[in-house]
Amino acid sequence: MSFMWNVVYVIIALVIVKISQWLWQWSNPNSKGSGKLPPGSMGFPIIGETIEFFKSSGLLEIPPFFQKRMLRYGPLFRTNILGSRTVISTDADVIFEIFRQENQSFVQSYPDVFVKRKMIGFMNRTTREHLRWKASEGAFNLRHAVSTLIVSYITPQMISNLKPETEAKLIDNFMAFNIEWFQSPFALSTWNNLFKVLRARKEAAKIINVALERRKDSILEKQGDFLDTLLEEMKKEGSIFDQASIVNLLLNIGVVSRDTTSHATALTVDFISKNPRVLTELQREHEAIVQKRDDKEAGLSWEEYKDCMPFTRMVIYESLRLANLGTIIFRKAVKDVVIKGKLEVKRYTIPAGWIVAVAPSVVHYNAEIYENPLEFNPWRWEGKDLRSPGSKTLMVFGGGARQCVGSDLARLHLAIFLHHFVTTYDFSVVQECEIYRVPFPCFTKDLHINISPKSPS
């Protein structure tokens, strides 16, 4: 009997040793020997530091998850989020280097898309019509209204020959598929919302696949939409596109552009409503554009968008800087990468397969870069070139070889919306918005406004 107990004790001891070894390797990944990792903590086994990462915080503040680790480890640290070994950077130089190495050491999961010049006329008409409808309805939820507006003009531009009932169904699925399904990883409503989102995505993908198959086999003349452009790219030798990537890209455009741009529009109007001087200057700039036209009823032209609205561009970038819709951007290391720390003598290795999460939001609130960083001040951009999507210290659309999907579309939409909004309507805020981060922005209260046509001057 004593022999059997001895065997049991030995087995228990071996299990304890094995578990201890695993826990040590979890907490100290350097022990696997692939170069010196940045400092940090891997948190609890399996869940890592996921719970703290998703704790909510205010809109105009650096999330506590980042603040705590930056104070302890500096601007480059390791962690574990959702079971993935991750290196997080909040340093502008390191983030810029990671974006610079796009397609060499890091990859992302979506390719480029460019706004077609011909879209501006359709966007003008659709924006004007939607604002006219809303002016007759009384108080309305601005973010939801803009979501409907964006999906209404982007869907036919992506796939232009859908039957009306099919287009309506695709629009409904785009509206059901949003990035705010995630409120808390531990709330039942989160998983119910996730189920609805996945179902909507599946239905939308099915519609796009059918349209793509029909277009591939069609001998009719080209439609001149996004789908035609992507099919032409797919036929080229060495193309990065296949049918699955085209479907995913169109889904991304429909969903990401709608959600992020509607958030940005609501926040921009909120910032403007609290800054009368900004509103006055916007009105002056856009009324000057209208007065120079032969046809005062014409919409915004491409030339006006490019050349006649410097202050509007300043307002857009300042709003996007403060909104920080891209709180954190993920990449994956495809090979071991050596990154310099804050001091040149410090070099850290990011092992192949690790996730790299960069946090432009921290850069945008850095008092060493921006004077009074939490203040809405479009004039801080005066005299600066804002025609390109970003720089080392301004990464509202990500960075690297490929910018955020729909970045050109988002800027064009905001310019067109503001043009019609400030030249045609007076507005009043009925309900201010309340937003928190988890760490992505989520609205607890939406911005509700009233709009009414301006009186003839």
Please write the tens of the pLDDT for every residue from 29-72.
Answer: 664 555 678 888 877 766 777 777 777 677 777 888 888 888 88
- The tens digit of pLDDT for each residue in 424-440 reads 999 999 988 887 776 66
Question: Has residue 205 got a pLDDT over 80?
Answer: yes
* Average pLDDT taken over every residue of the chain: 78
Asked if the 51-453 domain carries CATH number 3.90.850.10, the reply is no
- The answer to whether 432 and 444 have CB atoms below 8 angstroms apart is no
CB atoms closer than 10 angstroms to residue 379:
13
Any bridge partners for residue 434, and if so which? 445
Cα angle, residue 430 at apex, residues 428 and 436 outer, rounded to 5°: 115
99 versus 360: the higher-pLDDT residue is 360
Q: What confidence tier does 269 reach under pLDDT thresholds 50, 70, 90?
A: very high
Alpha carbon distance 262, 274 (integer Å): 19
Q: What confidence tier does 372 reach under pLDDT thresholds 50, 70, 90?
A: very high
DSSP 365: T
Residue 433 annotated as binding site = no
pLDDT of res. 285? 95
pLDDT of res. 406? 59
Cα angle, residue 455 at apex, residues 291 and 134 outer, rounded to 5°: 100
- The tens digit of pLDDT for each residue in 139-198 reads 999 988 998 888 888 888 888 888 889 888 888 888 876 655 555 554 545 556 667 777
Alpha carbon distance 81, 354 (integer Å): 11
Instruction: Find, among 351, 323, 314, 197, the residue nearest to 260 by Cα.
Output: 323
pLDDT of res. 288? 94
pLDDT of res. 18? 62
Instruction: Please tell me the pTM assigned to this model.
Output: 0.77
Give just the sign of the alpha carbon dihedral 90, 92, 94, 98: positive
Compute and round to an integer the Cα radius of gyration of the chain: 25
Query: What's the Cα-to-Cα distance from 430 to each of 125, 139, 348, rounded to whole Å?
Result: 26, 7, 51
- The answer to whether 262 and 143 have CB atoms below 8 angstroms apart is yes
Instruction: Find, among 58, 115, 141, the residue nearest to 414 by Cα.
Output: 115
- The tens digit of pLDDT for each residue in 302-321 reads 889 888 999 999 999 999 88
Cβ-proximal residues to 371 (8 Å cutoff; 6+ apart), any chain: 380
- The answer to whether 253 and 226 have CB atoms below 8 angstroms apart is yes
